Amino acid sequence: MNRTPVAAVGIVGVSGYSGMELARIVAGHPQLALALAISDKWAGTTLADHLPIPSAGGALVVRPQKEATAAAFAGLEIVFLCTPAEASIALAPVALEAGARVVDLSGAFRLPANEYPRWYGFTHARADLLPAACYSMPEAGASGDIRSARLVSNPGCYATASTLAALALLRGEIIAAEGIIINAASGTTGAGRKASEDFSFSEVDGDFRAYRVLRHQHTPEIERALALAGQPPLKVTFMPHLLPTRRGILATVYGRLNQGKTAADAAAAIERFVAGKPFLKAAKPDAVRLQPIVSTNRVLLGADADPERGVAVAFAAIDNLVKGAAGQAVQNANLMLGIEETTGLLNLAGSAP
């Protein structure tokens, strides 16, 4: 591991699910020090009042959103934005002008400007920042040099699982680029912490449903992520579902099997894809499940194929709050700082029995 000084970082939106997970990871990171935490909900209290994290980070007093200013960001190496997209668009330039680098966990900088009205429902107020934003999914490829990037766009949770599963088959030339269908199911924390009837216990428990049918904002993100990873332009059909569990995503990718390819070829493509990638692990298709990856930055990947029916399937399981958000954000911060990308992430405890 390269030895670098401890970098001071800040988290805006620390009381959200991704912000809470990020504070937990940063508190145990040997080369990051949490120096600023912002949340209106927790303002005036310490992080230890809400999170079981070590005393050094736990003693930090949370400041209100109005104090997310250039003065507050000055001296920080990295500011993590765990805020809604429109809030991130307003806050990112403030942090950048203060000399900090930004890792944004929202969708604020993931797409071209012309896509925001359709997929996010607003016109992008800082389209001038988009060309310089580095979209970084480390195992797939980034849109620029992350070591020099000032603004890094952290991928979405569904996009991470879906892209990695699809990319393994595409790079292995197992499936055609046309006609890819992705079904993915997420735990309720993927919807954020804001209360609503749709995500209350009585509405979710014992139920299973699709939502945002054919209009989920991760659809164009998956297509862009695959293009940034070297694939030709393509369109995917993406369908999200809500699982009656707290966390985790299971994505299933269906593709048209290329002539002459077999189930063994599909499995071999997964093995080649995960090689040398410390957070990716190959598994048999029916072993790709949520329990082994919950609370970790790991990704389980598996694939199978049926030549008789001309179809191949790939599966990816991730924790939507870790690899799908906070863990990948720390992984990207490690790469930005030039330290080993696994730092602070290998010892996250899983929950498999």
- Which residues are the active-site residues? 157
How many Cα atoms are found within 13 Å in the side-chain-facing hemisphere of 226? Answer: 26
DSSP state of 267: H
Question: Which H or E run contains 331?
Answer: helix 327-337
Distance CA 229, CA 139 (A): 9
List strand residue ranges (DSSP E) for 196-282, in order.
209-210, 236-242, 249-256, 280-282
- Report whether 41 contacts 61 (CB < 8 A): no
For residue 157, how many other CB atoms are within 10 A of its CB?
30
How many Cα atoms are found within 13 Å in the side-chain-facing hemisphere of 171? Answer: 21
Distance CA 110, CA 182 (A): 19
The alpha helices in 172-250, defined as continuous H runs, are 201-204, 218-228
How buried is residue 224: exposed, middle or buried, by Cβ count under 10 Å (0-12/13-18/19+)? buried
CA dihedral 195→199→201→202, nearest 10 degrees, is 110
How buried is residue 153: exposed, middle or buried, by Cβ count under 10 Å (0-12/13-18/19+)? buried
